[in-house]
Structure 1
Amino acid sequence: MPPPSSGSGTTTRARLWLVGALAILAFAANSLLARAALGDGAIGPGAYAAIRLGAGALVLAPLWRSASIRRDGAAGLFLATYAIAFSFAYVTLGAASGALILFATVQGVMVALGLARGEKVRASALVGVLVALAGVGWLLAPGVGAVDARAALVMGIAGLGWGLYSLVCHKGEGEAAAATAGAFAVAAVAALPLFLLGERMSVNGALLAAVSGAVTSGLGYVAWRMVAPRMSLTGVAGVQLLTPAAAGLLAWPLLGEVPGTRLTLAGLVILGGVALAMRAPLSQLKR
């Protein structure tokens, strides 16, 4: 038999990058859709989160048979924590500032879990996280361009949920689509009580939440779970780092959210800190 062609490996890598790029666009779109719906008060944050998770679960319903509560239960609870906190935070935060806080927190979660497991983490990782947190602190400091501290704290909770969800995904347990379907089913059930809040819900707001859930969350997260297990945690963090930049660039023409001087400079500090942290051997966590 002839040796396997090197072209097949190149094709596989190209597909991996393509799926990863689609996942990042989906992540950025989630921030934009949330701001479009919540910033204008078209829907309440609780209803938005519940519809988003419900739509994601429904679009993946054909895969429920292959899901496992034992395997996907924890991921579903982490996903619900992320989605609910994400919605409440974006009532106040802009698309770019919210994404920056979210993914700075995600990076901190990954490094903190590495330390908690007793694994060696280089000083550059700790310095990078501290630099990123300093950038977040700058966003929160009083003055022109400051972001709401309470909303930032809630987005930090969302980052914790997403960081834990990403780590569960990174284990690569189960087929990607089925595992995502199971997680969404659990998360959707957990979010049902939010409808009891009796929040305002316009047709436009519900539609934006449904698109976010069915397309940029449900299908987008399937793409992410296909990619994440094939990357080191350093790679996972690096790819996700592109999300705040994409959200910020798209929020300007689509939502009219012009980045101010503080947001621009603090964003560079945060992204620089996360990039520095990525240089640490976080791939040690892949076990």
Structure 2
Amino acid sequence: MTLIRLGLLSLVTMLCFAGNSILCRLALKHTTLDAASFTSLRLISGAVMLACLVYAKQRLRPRASAASSHAPLLGGNWISALALFVYAAALSFSYADLSTGIGALLLFGAVQATMIATGLCFGERLSSRQMVGMLVALIGVVAILLPALDAPPLGSAALMLASGAAWGVYSLRGRGVGDPTRDTAGNFLRAAALSVLLGSLFLARLQFDAVGVLYALLSGAITSGVGYALWYAVLPHMTRTRAATVQLSVPVLAALAGAAFAQEPITLQFVLTSLAVLGGIALVVLDKKPGT
């Protein structure tokens, strides 16, 4: 894959990831669609899109080995599906009260923190520079949550941090799988089943809105299904450090989308805390050995 093509596909993928945030925010803030329904519609449409992509991929490879031709269409497992469900549900419920940029910042900060903390638990060590980066990022997150005119509700912020932690767990469990798109399709299908159970707990609060449903379907089929498929296509061509660094652009893209489509202001507090959180994480992920 050429460098230009890798860069373009990476940009499209990050736009898809940011698109998940803005579509969820638009649905829950500007339509009457409820969070449980958004979660279900997103996961179901994502499962359908990913299954179609896996099927098309298999059909385009008629000379595949006998072993692969008899492999099930969908992979995955229930533990990963549970992590995916927690990520999607917590994100939906938190975006009812969080701005697009703040939500994406907390989400991806928690993703990186979860993956870094897991590495520490398995014996990885941080350099002095990385320790400073972790401290700066932590200060940035605390600053986001400090009481202020534009401080997010603590409950919604906690839900978003839980969403990021769940996505971090899902990402770690997906490392090294043979066919990540097939596994993701299976996990989306299982998570969709869990989301239907979630919806049954909120039957009295379910509200449908045509525009909100459209946002949810776009989030599931395009920015999730196609977005994740693109991500797994470019990921083998990137080092782990570069992959982690590229994802730091998502909160910035999400904030710009929130300003453009949801009329959300980009405040000085958001800019300063973003610099702290993303800059601190960058110090951690960039201070690694070559090839990581």
Give the match for residue 28 of structure 2. Answer: 38
The farther-off stretch of 105-114 and 60-69 is 60-69
Give the match for residue 105 of structure 1. Answer: 110
2:12 to 17, 22, 37: 22
| C-alpha displacement of 1:42 | 2.1
Counterpart-to-counterpart distance in 2, 1:124 and 1:103: 21
Give the match for residue 162 of structure 1. Answer: 167
Which ranges in structure 2 are unaligned for 5 or more consecutive residues? 56-71
Counterpart-to-counterpart distance in 1, 2:83 and 2:18: 19
Aligned residue identity for 2:268: T
Aligned residue identity for 1:119: E
Give the match for residue 224 of structure 1. Answer: 231
Which ranges in structure 1 are unaligned for 5 or more consecutive residues? 1-10
1:251 to 241, 258, 261: 258
Matched, 1:278 2:289: no
Give the match for residue 213 of structure 1. Answer: 220
Counterpart-to-counterpart distance in 2, 1:233 and 1:186: 28
Give the match for residue 46 of structure 2. Answer: 56
Matched, 1:190 2:194: yes
Matched, 1:84 2:74: no
Aligned residue identity for 1:192: V
CA separation of 1:282/1:59 partners in 2, compared to 1, >3 Å: closer, same or farther? farther
Matched, 1:124 2:124: no
C-alpha contact (below 8 Å) 1:111/1:121 kept by paired residues: no
Counterpart-to-counterpart distance in 2, 1:155 and 1:85: 6
| C-alpha displacement of 1:234 | 1.7
| C-alpha displacement of 1:228 | 2.6
1:202 to 209, 212, 218: 209
Identical aligned pairs, as a percentage? 36
Give the match for residue 158 of structure 2. Answer: 153
TM-score by length of 2: 0.87
Counterpart-to-counterpart distance in 1, 2:78 and 2:275: 36
CA separation of 1:21/1:241 partners in 2, compared to 1, >3 Å: closer, same or farther? same
1:118-175 Cα offsets, whole Å, 9 max, x none, are 122323223212211211111111122211111110000110111122223332x122
Aligned residue identity for 2:119: G
SS of 1:170's equivalent?
A: coil
1:174 to 166, 169, 178: 178
CA separation of 1:12/1:77 partners in 2, compared to 1, >3 Å: closer, same or farther? farther
Give the match for residue 268 of structure 1. Answer: 275
Counterpart-to-counterpart distance in 1, 2:270 and 2:94: 17
Aligned residue identity for 1:83: A
Counterpart-to-counterpart distance in 2, 1:82 and 1:282: 30
Aligned residue identity for 2:231: W
Aligned residue identity for 2:74: A
1:242 to 249, 262, 269: 249
C-alpha contact (below 8 Å) 1:121/1:281 kept by paired residues: no
**Aligned-pair RMSD on alpha carbons?**
1.9
| C-alpha displacement of 1:113 | 0.5
CA separation of 1:228/1:126 partners in 2, compared to 1, >3 Å: closer, same or farther? farther
Give the match for residue 7 of structure 1. Answer: none
Give the match for residue 47 of structure 1. Answer: 37
Give the match for residue 66 of structure 2. Answer: none
Counterpart-to-counterpart distance in 2, 1:143 and 1:230: 43
TM-score by length of 1: 0.88
C-alpha contact (below 8 Å) 2:51/2:74 kept by paired residues: no
| C-alpha displacement of 1:279 | 2.1
Give the match for residue 5 of structure 1. Answer: none
Counterpart-to-counterpart distance in 1, 2:208 and 2:115: 36
CA separation of 1:43/1:55 partners in 2, compared to 1, >3 Å: closer, same or farther? same
| C-alpha displacement of 1:283 | 7.6
Give the match for residue 144 of structure 1. Answer: 149
